[in-house]
């Protein structure tokens, strides 16, 4: 066959002086000669078919190789995703376990029987209004408890006044400040009658006789409020003294012109002062003794005020003017030394006057000089400070006196005020017409950070802090703190900052384990699975203040996605001149926008009713924190609930004759910037309703210093410094084109704030701290089978 081909194509070789195998193959492929001896097909066709098959096989091999490479890439991706999916599975298992635990807790809670209380007993009485023996009367015998059910919220009736300017003024005050005012005297728990020293001919049950005139003796079945002639259940108050708004007397310097100031009235003219005078002879201290019973001796309220203002200690004798003198000493910062063990003091039994005064029997007057000289300087300043705090909190003006009296009655009657979250004074207004949440939500593309060895915590369902749970225990268990630490007894508390903790081991008993998330034995992995600590589980609310930085706000919201223990994000929209975009990031928790009427930095610290947790994380919209930093700070705050816990720290320092705000790196700090700090919600209420209004007004006027004001307030109430966590000293926003701290006058304003707030408080309450809080295993060398609590902090 081959020979025939060559013979048949002999002309091919003659015409092709140069040839190659490829050329020969190409020629052979063109031969279409039919050969029945072989397959019946020509050699050319066979070669062409073989070549096609070869190309097809090669193509399939290339495709197979590509598929193998693709499969290998998928395999590598799956291998890479296995640890991530294991973490996701672990997180899901944790969520399932948390949901099952929460379901069990809800079932147990739902089994609690809830019912309305019965009405109080109506104790029968003789029905007389004048009892022959007033000493037999007590608080319970002059109160008809059947009118004062614990569910009545203590309705107050104020008798209408038709004549007398002072009586009318006080009547208007009580009507203004009463939490639950009623116009029906028959159904009122408390009936307030105002008199100007006139003894009524009769009294009715549950009557408070508020005497703004001369004190009188009485045997009425009424509770009398006056300055003297008091029975055990009456209230000692000086209600007819002039209360002018004056600048607080500075706490410092310690020493004044006189060590002791003493004003003696005519009822003590026989008092032997020779021994007191004798005790001063070997000492170098000055004293001033004003004998008002002597002729040509100047006396009166202003003289007494000047004497007390120039004295470190004020010796006060029992007299008709005792309460007036006592209040004056508190106001001017003179430590009262009460020369009587029996003289009633205002709201005695509620206010701990031992923190601001010193009692001595008058028989120890000769020894008084030695006693007061033995006091430590820090004790004198603290007594001076507490006296001023008590005065400002309970006696500063008519409104304050009326509120304090009603609060004292409420505490004695054990009646909570009518408070629910929906009835709070700070009702938030939704930004999007009738809803707080944006009409449109965008998916957050930010993936959870799986660079860590384990997750930061479980993503449990939202849980609110238990509110108004201390409506009755606040009257006794927490009464001391209410009157003497936070100075706010006027309304029932949504939360109590330092409420009692369970003893160790409670989380393992059937009747006390509800809400606990104990940490299993181990290190980092076990730590990350539960909140642990000494309290039941809780979450926190982020409050974000924003103004004219929508893009920056979007980034801030996205960084909060999948953050453990987050309950809600509340955005305070300070852009009052424009409406917001409709679309915002959709997180794993609600994001609520609040409409405000004023672009104010004070809006950051309004205790909005939308905040349903005790813990509040105050954030600026330009703050970029790692989630593990936030979780660490939250865990630290849970153990230090009465303090500000945060990140960037600052301090105050004295240069020359003035105090300055300082942001340089230092080894001690006294402030935490509230653009990134955990704060208890109760401090938001204190800032908005109890802090001096002039501070908030100054913040509004200069658009600065709200963080300094909050640090002043918390340190003033607790006498503790804030707590710094992690190594962050600044939190800069590289994408922000505008910030308040970039203004040239920023530091000048803050220097002035330090000085002005010091004048308002009468002293600088800021406290220094020389440590920061990091996680326990931070920078600790660990065995290979252990993990750190957090990877970076």
The residues carrying an active-site annotation are 707
Cα gap 421→610, rounded to integer Å: 9
DSSP string, 457-500: S--PPP-----S--TTGGGTTTHHHHHHTS---SS--S--TTPP
Backbone angles phi, psi at 768, to 5 degrees: -85, 150
* Strand partners of residue 335: 313
Comparing CA positions, the residue from 402, 659, 692, 449 lying closest to residue 559 is 449
Which two three-digit tokens encode residue 663? Answer: 């942001």
Query: How far apart (Å, rounded) are the C-alpha atoms in residues 20 and 147?
Result: 123
Burial annotation 556-574 (CB, 10 A radius, 16+ → b, else e): bbebbbbbbbbbbbbbbbb
Which of 364, 373, 380, 374 is closest to 276 using CA atoms? Answer: 364
Token pair for 299: 């006396």
192 token code pair: 């307030």
Contact 640, 563 (CB under 8 A): no
- Tell me the C-alpha to C-alpha distance, in Å, between residue 614 and each of 418, 611, 620, 700: 20, 8, 19, 26
Which of 578, 524, 529, 527 lies closest to 549, judged by CA?
578
Question: What is the DSSP code (8-state) at residue 181?
Answer: B
Strand-by-strand arrangement of the 649-655 sheet: 658-662, 649-655, 671-672
For residues 176 and 185, give the distance between their C-alpha atoms in angstroms, rounded to a whole number.
Answer: 17
Going by their DSSP bridges, the two strands 645-646 and 676-680 should be labelled as antiparallel
Tokens (6 digits) for 683: 């401090």
Within 8 A by CB and 6+ apart from 536, the residues are: 502, 514, 515, 516
CA distance 702 to 602: 12
State how far the Cα of 137 lies from the Cα of 219, in Å rounded to an integer: 9
How far, in Å, CA of 414 to CA of 287, rounded? 46
Give CA–CA dist 405/229, Å, rounded.
18
- Give the chain's largest Cα–Cα span: 163
State the sign of the Cα–Cα–Cα–Cα dihedral 422, 424, 425, 426: negative
Distance CA 710, CA 672 (A): 9
Q: Tokens 């924003």 belong to which residue? A: 546
Separation of alpha carbons 664 and 748, rounded Å: 15
What DSSP line would sit under 112-131, residue for residue? S---PPPPPP-------SB-
The strand pair at 335-338 and 311-316 is best described as: parallel
Helix (H, G, I), strand (E, B) or coil at 64: helix
Phi/psi for 520 (5° steps) reads -70, 155
């Amino acid at each position: 066959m081959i020979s025939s081909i060559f013979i048949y194509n002999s002309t091919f070789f003659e015409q092709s002086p140069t040839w190659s195998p490829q050329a020969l193959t190409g020629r052979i492929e063109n031969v279409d000669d039919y050969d029945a001896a072989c397959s019946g097909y020509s050699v050319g066709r066979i070669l062409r078919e073989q070549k096609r098959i070869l190309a097809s096989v090669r193509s399939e091999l290339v495709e197979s190789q590509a598929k193998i490479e693709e499969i290998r890439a998928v395999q590598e991706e799956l291998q890479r995703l296995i640890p991530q999916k294991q973490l996701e599975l672990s997180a899901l298992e944790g969520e399932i376990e948390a949901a099952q635990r929460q379901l069990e807790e809800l079932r147990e809670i739902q089994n609690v029987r809830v019912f309305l209380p019965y009405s109080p007993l109506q104790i029968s009485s003789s029905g007389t209004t004048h009892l022959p023996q007033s000493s037999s009367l007590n608080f319970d015998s002059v109160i008809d408890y059947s009118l004062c059910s614990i569910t009545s919220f203590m309705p107050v009736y104020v008798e209408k006044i038709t004549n007398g300017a002072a009586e009318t003024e006080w009547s208007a005050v009580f009507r203004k400040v009463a939490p639950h005012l009623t116009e029906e005297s028959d159904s009122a728990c408390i009936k307030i009658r105002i008199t100007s020293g006139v003894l009524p001919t009769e009294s009715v049950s549950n009557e408070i006789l508020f005497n703004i005139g001369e004190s009188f003796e009485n045997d009425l079945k009424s509770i009398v409020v006056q300055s003297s002639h008091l029975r055990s259940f009456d209230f000692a108050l000086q209600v007819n003294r002039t209360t002018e708004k004056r600048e607080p007397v500075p706490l410092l310097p310690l020493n004044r012109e006189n060590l002791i100031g003493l004003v003696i009235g005519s009822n003590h003219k026989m008092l032997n002062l020779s021994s007191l005078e004798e005790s001063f002879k070997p000492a170098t201290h000055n004293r001033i003794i004003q004998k008002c019973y002597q002729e040509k001796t100047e006396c009166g309220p202003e003289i007494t005020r000047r004497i007390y203002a120039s004295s470190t200690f004020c010796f006060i004798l029992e007299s008709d003017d005792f309460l007036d003198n006592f209040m004056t000493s508190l106001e001017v910062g003179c430590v009262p030394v009460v020369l009587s063990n029996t003289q009633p003091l205002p709201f005695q039994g509620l206010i701990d006057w031992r923190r601001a005064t010193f009692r001595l029997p008058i028989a120890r007057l000769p020894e008084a000089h030695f006693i007061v000289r033995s006091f430590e300087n820090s004790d004198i300043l603290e007594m001076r400070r507490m006296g001023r705090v008590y005065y400002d909190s309970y006696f500063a003006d008519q409104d304050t006196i009326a509120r304090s009296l009603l609060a004292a009655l409420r505490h004695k009657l054990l009646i909570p005020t009518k408070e629910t979250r929906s009835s709070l004074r700070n009702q938030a207004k939704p930004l999007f017409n009738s809803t707080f949440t944006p009409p449109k939500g965008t998916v957050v593309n930010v993936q959870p950070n799986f660079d860590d060895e384990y997750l930061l915590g479980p993503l449990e369902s939202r849980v609110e802090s238990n509110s108004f749970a201390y409506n009755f225990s606040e009257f006794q268990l927490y009464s001391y703190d209410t009157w003497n630490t936070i100075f706010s007894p006027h309304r029932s508390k949504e939360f109590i900052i330092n409420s009692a903790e369970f003893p160790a081991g409670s989380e393992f008993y059937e009747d006390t384990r509800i809400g606990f998330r104990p940490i299993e034995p181990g290190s980092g992995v076990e730590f990350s699975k539960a909140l642990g600590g000494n309290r039941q589980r809780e979450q926190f609310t982020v409050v974000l203040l924003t103004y004219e930085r929508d893009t920056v706000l979007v980034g801030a919201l996205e960084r909060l996605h999948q953050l453990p223990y987050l309950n809600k994000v509340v955005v305070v929209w300070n852009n009052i001149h424009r409406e917001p975009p409709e679309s915002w990031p959709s997180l794993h928790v609600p994001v609520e926008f609040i409409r405000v009427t004023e672009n104010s930095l004070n809006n950051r610290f309004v205790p909005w009713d939308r905040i349903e947790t005790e813990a509040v994380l105050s954030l600026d919209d330009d703050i970029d924190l790692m989630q593990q930093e936030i979780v660490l700070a939250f865990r630290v705050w849970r153990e230090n609930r009465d303090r500000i816990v945060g990140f960037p720290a600052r301090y105050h320092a004295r240069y020359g004759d003035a105090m300055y705000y300082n942001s340089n790196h230092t080894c001690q700090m006294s402030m935490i910037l509230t653009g990134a700090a955990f704060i208890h919600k109760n401090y938001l209420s204190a800032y908005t309703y109890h802090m001096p209004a002039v501070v908030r007004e100054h913040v509004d006027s200069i658009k600065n210093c709200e963080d300094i004001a909050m640090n002043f307030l918390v340190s003033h109430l607790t006498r503790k410094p804030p707590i710094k966590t992690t190594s962050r000293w600044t939190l800069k926003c590289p994408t922000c084109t505008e910030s308040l701290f970039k203004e040239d006058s920023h530091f000048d304003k803050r220097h002035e704030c330090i000085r002005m707030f010091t004048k308002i408080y009468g002293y600088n309450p800021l406290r220094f701290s020389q440590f920061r809080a990091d996680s326990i295993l931070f920078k600790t060398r660990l065995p290979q089978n252990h993990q750190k609590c957090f990877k970076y902090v």
